[in-house]
Amino acid sequence: MGRLGFPKSCRLRKRAEFTACYDHGRRYHTRQFLVFVRRRDEAATGARLGIAVSKKIGSAVVRNRVKRLVREVFRQNRSLITSDLDVVVVAKRKIDVPSLDVFVARDELIPIFRRLGRDFRPQSENV
C-alpha cells in the first residue's frame, strides 16, 4: 500500500491489545478525547492506533465520522511518535460532534502526539 494508506500493521485489532492499553498504559486527556498509550514489548515498526467510540456518542454515521477524523490525524502525524507504541483514542461522551472537523481533532491530538515523543523516547536513547 502507498504511503497514504493505513495498513493493518498500523492498527490495533484485538480486544486484548485495547485492554492492555487501558490497564497498563498512561492516560492523556484533551477536551474531547481520552488517549491511552502503552509501549510495545515486541520489536515493531512504529506506532499503532486503536479508536473507541461508544454508542452513546450517536448513530453509526456519527461514530464512523469521529473515527475517520481521528484516523486521518494519526495517519498524517504518525512521524511525531518516534517509539513503538500502542495508542488508543477514546471519544469522550461530551464530544461536540457537530463542530468536530479534522482541524479541531488535529489541534487536540497533535500536542499529545508531540508529548508522546518526549515521554516515550526510543529504547536506544534511554541508555
Supply 99's cell numbers: 463542530
Backbone angles phi, psi at 29, to 5 degrees: -115, 140
- pLDDT for 127: 47
Q: How far is CA 89 from CA 53, 72, 114, 126, in A?
A: 9, 13, 15, 26
Domains of the chain listed by start with CATH number: 8-120 (3.30.230.10)
**pLDDT digit string, tens, across residues 66-125:** 999 999 999 999 888 878 899 999 999 999 999 999 999 999 999 999 998 888 876 555
